[in-house]
Amino acid sequence: MRIDFLFIGKTKKDYLAAGIDDFCRRLKRYAEIDVRILKVVKPASKPALKVKQEEGALLLAHLEPKSFLVVLDPGGRPLSSEKLADCLRDWRDCGKNHITIVLGGALGLSDEVLSRADLLLSLSKMTFTHEMARLLIVEQLYRAFNILNGTGYHK
């Protein structure tokens, strides 16, 4: 299985970047991992909708057409760690071997990206920084693979 992560903007907090790197290294035991950091569209005098559209076009341009798209969105479907593991198993068993995880910019995602999503996923009803959300999704995918493989990580 291959998992691509598309993130808008760099992870600025060193401790979060280190955590993301750590879990990406761990994930490589189970899947091919590619993390792509895309350029932030500077709002300057642009309206929020224009920024979201430009970032959305950038995200969609980096998306492989046959990839199964999981978009992190506060209005998305909340899943337990076990349910996420079930999803991974189902995707694998159905031949969806290329998954792309998208986390947009600070202003959210364009309608074009949201409508292209195969799954809108919410990490929590709580609000997290985008950088924190990156760490959480990478860790949760690692946890899900461990659940599928019966290791002791998920306890």
Q: Looking at the predicted structure, is the pLDDT value of residue 152 above 90?
A: no
Domains of the chain: 2-149 (3.40.1280.10)
Percent over 90 (pLDDT), the chain: 86
Question: What value does the mean pLDDT take over residues 90-111?
Answer: 94
Q: Looking at the predicted structure, is the pLDDT value of residue 145 above 90?
A: yes
Full-model pTM = 0.93
> Cα–Cα distance between 85 and 148 in angstroms, integer?
6
Question: What value does the mean pLDDT take over residues 77-88?
Answer: 97
> Cα–Cα distance between 82 and 42 in angstroms, integer?
38
Structure tokens at 73: 């969105």
pLDDT tens, residue by residue, 32-74: 999 999 998 887 778 888 999 999 999 999 999 999 999 999 9
